[in-house]
Structure 1
Amino acid sequence: MGRSSNSALVILAFFAIYVIWGSTYLLNKIAVLELEPFMLASCRFTTAGLFIFILAKFMKIPLTISKKQLLNTILAGVFFLSFGNGVVVWALRYVDSGFAALEISAQPLIILLLMRMLQGKKIQPMSVIGVILGIIGIYLLVSQKQIIAQKESITGMIMIFFCMLSWAYGSLFVARADLPTNYFVNTGYQMFTAGLTLALMSLAFGEEWSSPLDWSGKVQWSMILLVVFGSIVAFTSFNYLLKAVSPEKVATSTYVNPIVALLLGWYFLDEQITVQSIFAATILLTGVYFINTKKTLAIFERFKR
């Protein structure tokens, strides 16, 4: 009975990191076409952070952390969520959700290169092949005529690249930072403080805030799904899987998320899937497979979005 229950939990958790994380691109795209991007991200993460604090109280998990841990969670929240996610939401106004997911799937490549440049870590032979394939895949993805021809698409693409740099640097930062030992508490502080930072960013850019009561039904549902499933359920599932199965199996979400995002964007938003995009995705994801060796998995999988 226990083993059967465990298997069911593992299957549900994989569904969460495969489908739910893959769908967040579509949900953000739907919402950002109507709402201001930083306001949208701020509402999502502030609400999710508050929910996590409430759940922690119910589960009798202490929320007390040191001043140093608070500062580090704020910095991690900025790297991962305020800039790393908030600016992606902004970029989704100008690029397709499937394209954004494909570009972000190259995240392990960026982390590996930063580890080499900032920490002098040697890149393993298999990972070198992965880097080469990844660069070729990214080039094929972004060199398509319909992207180069649109100035706004290029801007969105470049900003997503900077978001990836922010995520990669954040991954290296949290690997050495003093953070709350309970991942639930750690996530709660990161999300809540990032939500506040995003609110400040929204005000600085002069965004117009609106009441959730004034949002359309599809945007209200998108926000609910982003908060409950995209932020809380999927992240909890991710951390559960890191303990229940091997990191290599958890890493398969890297390959599935962009495919889910591409299909959902095509089905619900009529986003175009070109032959070159499919070819680029195949090469890029093959490169990510080579990069995801056991030596680089630990840092990537622990701090992945």
Structure 2
Amino acid sequence: MTLSRKTLSIVLAFFAIYVIWGSTYLLNKVAVSELPPFKLAAIRFLFAGAIIFVIAKILKVNISITKEQFKNTVIAGFLFLTFGNGVVVWALKFVDSGFAALEISAQPLIVLLLMRILQGKKIATMAYIGVVLGFIGIYLLVSQKQIISQEGQIIGMLMIFTCMLSWAYGSLFVSKANLPSNYFVNTGYQMLAGGTMLALASLCFGETWSLPNTWSSDVQWAMVLLIVFGSIIAFTAFNYLLKEVSPEKVATNTYVNPIIALILGWYILDETITLQSIIAAIVLLTGVYFINTNRIIKPRGIGR
């Protein structure tokens, strides 16, 4: 049985946000060890956005958008990239890449709760079980003495949680907002908007800027991979999926992301994986599974 073009596109898009994004925690950790966080994120997204528009120009893709669409891409760029990604990169100065990915794996829980609070969606019993397991998993993860005793770990974990809120709200916003119909163009505008705001944040915080030829080869390669795969390919796939499938299904990339991030962080950066972290991962990901299994969500009231 052959897959339709749309089905194949969805499968490939999920592969991108599952696997590629799982590796970006490692790449950001490598880069932020040498570069200031907001500068790093700004360069990544500004270059990615510029490359997208160059490709669009070559392919003769129409990049014109309405004022409303531009406003919405700026909002999405802030929620996903300026705050949602920039602050995570900042937190990686204090938190292991695998740990950060594991904490972010609770994002489907946040999406579900925001859908309940903001959209009046009813939550099925299985999903409630998932929410409980999710909170237990988060507690097991963040209550480890060897982790919370390290300098900057607590503030790093708290800031990552706020980024989860930003991404979750952004997912709901994008699924309903009037955005450019071309997913590639949509990504480009979000990248340029988010990258511009990150550059302004970098200047406001007084970060030092330097030319790429002064960076180490590891950081140069990390930046190239972040721009091409983490930004252009994976983020375009993310925006595509938000329009083709439900936001909470898109958020299931957190099943795979933390596993890949944990393995890469352990293997390449010698990050520690504790037994409690493994137990927390099992409980947390089980909760995510329950959230996305046998769920019946209906709108409350007459409007959405």
Q: Same fold (TM over 0.5)?
A: yes
Residue 121 of structure 1: how far off its partner (Å): 1.8
CA RMSD across the alignment:
2.8
In structure 1, what is the equivalent of residue 300 of structure 2?
Answer: none
> Would you say the 8 A contact 1:42–1:196 is kept in 2?
yes
User: Are the structure 2 counterparts of residues 77 and 246 from structure 1 closer, same or farther at C-alpha, using a change threshold of 3 Å?
Assistant: closer
Matches within 5 A, 1:108-187: 108-187=108-187
Give TM-score scaled by structure 2 length. 0.89
Q: Which sits farther off after the overlay, 237-246 or 112-121?
A: 237-246
Residue 19 of structure 1: how far off its partner (Å): 2.7
> Would you say the 8 A contact 2:48–2:188 is kept in 1?
yes
SS in 2 for 1:116: helix
Letter in 2 for 1:42: A
> Would you say the 8 A contact 2:127–2:295 is kept in 1?
no
1:205 pairs with 2:205: yes
Residue 60 of structure 1: how far off its partner (Å): 2.0
Structure 1 residues not aligned, in runs of 5+:
298-305
User: Are the structure 2 counterparts of residues 36 and 295 from structure 1 closer, same or farther at C-alpha, using a change threshold of 3 Å?
Assistant: same
Q: Distance in 1 between matches of 2:156 and 2:282?
A: 22
Residue 119 of structure 1: how far off its partner (Å): 2.4
Residue 78 of structure 1: how far off its partner (Å): 0.3
Residue 14 of structure 1: how far off its partner (Å): 5.5
Letter in 1 for 2:121: K
User: Are the structure 2 counterparts of residues 4 and 116 from structure 1 closer, same or farther at C-alpha, using a change threshold of 3 Å?
Assistant: closer
1:62 pairs with 2:53: no
User: Are the structure 2 counterparts of residues 295 and 77 from structure 1 closer, same or farther at C-alpha, using a change threshold of 3 Å?
Assistant: farther
In structure 2, what is the equivalent of residue 191 of structure 1?
Answer: 191
User: Are the structure 2 counterparts of residues 174 and 3 from structure 1 closer, same or farther at C-alpha, using a change threshold of 3 Å?
Assistant: closer
Give TM-score scaled by structure 1 length. 0.88
Q: Distance in 1 between matches of 2:247 and 2:119?
A: 23
Letter in 1 for 2:265: G
In structure 1, what is the equivalent of residue 235 of structure 2?
Answer: 235
Matches within 5 A, 1:1-305: 15-238=15-238, 253-293=253-293
Q: Which sits farther off after the overlay, 165-174 or 195-204?
A: 165-174
Q: Distance in 2 between matches of 1:245 and 1:170?
A: 15
The answer to which structure has the higher helix fraction is 1
> Would you say the 8 A contact 1:112–1:296 is kept in 2?
no
Q: Distance in 1 between matches of 2:266 and 2:171?
A: 31
Identity %: 70
> Would you say the 8 A contact 1:248–1:294 is kept in 2?
no
Residue 5 of structure 1: how far off its partner (Å): 10
How many residue pairs get matched?
Answer: 297
